[in-house]
Amino acid sequence: MADLAQRHVPAGHTLRGVTMRAGPRQGIDLDAMQIAWRAVMLARGHADGEVALHCTIDPWNCTCTGCGSRWTSDAPAESACPGGCEAAPTFAGNSDLQVINIDVDP
């Protein structure tokens, strides 16, 4: 992940921040990810907190098996059909991991 970001940094520029987007199937724990990120950046010689990581996780796409309603949820296991059906919804989500943006200093 850090390598992915580093490859986007133009020569002679310093990485200051990375914005990422992850699919829900990645199962990312944001707190754990921040801790891992700090460790990687420190190991690469950056000062603590010098390179910020911003990560957003896409919600699951839920579909009601009763009425076909669709909605999105961060916690599909606790999610129910907005139409009030008791039928169990199905969940779909991707496992993408993308670098959306990087901030660099010249």
Residues that bind Zn ion (CB under 5 A): 64, 66-67, 69, 81, 83, 85
Place of tokens 């169990």: 88
Q: How far is CA 87 from the centre of its chain?
A: 29
Nearest approach, Cβ of 73 to Zn ion (angstroms)? Answer: 13
- Name the residue nearer to Zn ion (CB basis): 51 or 64: 64
- Name the residue nearer to Zn ion (CB basis): 56 or 90: 90
Nearest approach, Cβ of 87 to Zn ion (angstroms)? Answer: 6
Nearest approach, Cβ of 65 to Zn ion (angstroms)? Answer: 8
Cβ-contact 41, 75 below 8 angstroms = no
- Distance in angstroms (rounded) separating the CA atoms of residues 58 and 79: 15
- Name the residue nearer to Zn ion (CB basis): 51 or 81: 81
